[in-house]
Amino acid sequence: MAIGRNNFDQIGQYQEAVENNPDAPRALCFGDSWFQYVPHPTDLNKQIARSFKGSLFLNEGVAGRDSATWKAALPRIKREIASYAFKTIMLSNGGNDIVGSELREFVKEADRPQAPGSFDWGVLPPQVMDHVRLAAFQCALQYAIEDLIEVVQLRDLYSRDSIIFLHSYAYIWPSGDAFQLGPFKVGPWVAPFLSAVGVTDIRDQRVITSWLVDQFYRRLQVLASQYANIRLIDSRTALPDRRQWENEIHPTRTGFERIAKDYWVPQLKGILK
């Protein structure tokens, strides 16, 4: 049964909704711009909330969230997890560390030395071997996963039955397109940094960025295997067409709709209503 407005980003309003609908399943969305994509009401949080109108959503998404803002929010997230016994905690984090502006920290020219780090990377595409500083990228992956683990540990302390959802994002298009709202512009985040180290062909750029996303997904798989009540959504191949991307790292409205409808909603059925 629909309960009227069911998606909130203010804790006072959320508390009131919980008091008025004590039997409604509760969900927390904590993450980045894929949960809070201004100004369009198209992001995953909005799409999922529309699909489960009998559940109450608390949206803790912040566009451009990085590790520092993630950590700054943790005391508040801890209180919310302890207070609301969420049926599910949905996390969207790591994209900015893997294929966002942090990319400039771990790309390189082909003639610069390579340090593989300690991860088992498997067979490396030549483009990756030439242009990704593997040891530096390993550090970025570790930071992203450690941020997620902190929330998992809070869940284990205060609400062990809450089911955590993680996701893989999707293979991006390094188009050089930025986010723009009127005169306000952010990005592009990918193509300029790859071009600066000699990777100018879109096919080579996609080989590198897809490999980066794959490595993030591999680490998410390991994380999900080591803790109870974690589910991992693999939407890497969901948006193969450049027209499904509004800019380099954000889908269009229909792109978000596809990921929500085809990947998130089927997993959430039976948990939310």
Contacts of 53 (CB under 8 A, 6+ apart): 2, 3, 6
Section 94-101 average pLDDT: 84
Residue 1 forms part of a structural domain: no
Residue 117 forms part of a structural domain: no
Q: What is the pLDDT of residue 185?
A: 82
Distance separating alpha carbons of residues 86 and 191, to the nearest angstrom:
39
Q: What is the pLDDT of residue 67?
A: 87
Residue 43 forms part of a structural domain: yes
Residue appearing with tokens 């949960």: 35
Cα dihedral 226, 157, 57, 167, rounded to 10, equals: -20
CATH (domain of 179): 3.40.50.1110
- Mean pLDDT lowest for which of 2-11, 23-32, 91-100, 250-259? 91-100
Entry pTM: 0.95
Q: What is the pLDDT of residue 86?
A: 98
| Radius of gyration (C-alpha) of the chain in whole angstroms | 19
Tokens of 35: 């949960």
> By percentage, how much of the chain surpasses pLDDT 70?
99
Contact status, residue 268 vs residue 52, Cβ threshold 8 Å: yes
Residue 16 forms part of a structural domain: yes
Section 174-178 average pLDDT: 91
Residue 103 forms part of a structural domain: no
Residue 105 forms part of a structural domain: no
Section 152-177 average pLDDT: 97
Q: What is the pLDDT of residue 1?
A: 66
Confidence tier at 96 by pLDDT (50, 70, 90): confident
Residue 255 forms part of a structural domain: yes
Q: Which domain holds residue 155?
A: 7-95+144-183+217-268
Q: What is the pLDDT of residue 63?
A: 87
What is the tally of structural domains in the chain? Answer: 1
Contacts of 89 (CB under 8 A, 6+ apart): 27, 28, 30, 81, 151, 155, 159, 162, 163, 164, 165
Residue 56 forms part of a structural domain: yes
Section 71-87 average pLDDT: 97
Highest mean pLDDT pick, 60-69, 88-97, 121-130: 121-130
Q: What is the pLDDT of residue 56?
A: 98
- Mean pLDDT lowest for which of 57-71, 116-130, 146-160, 214-228? 57-71
Residue 105 DSSP symbol: G
Section 184-192 average pLDDT: 88
> By percentage, how much of the chain surpasses pLDDT 90?
87
The candidate with the shortest Cα–Cα distance to 157, out of 76, 86, 85, 82, is: 82
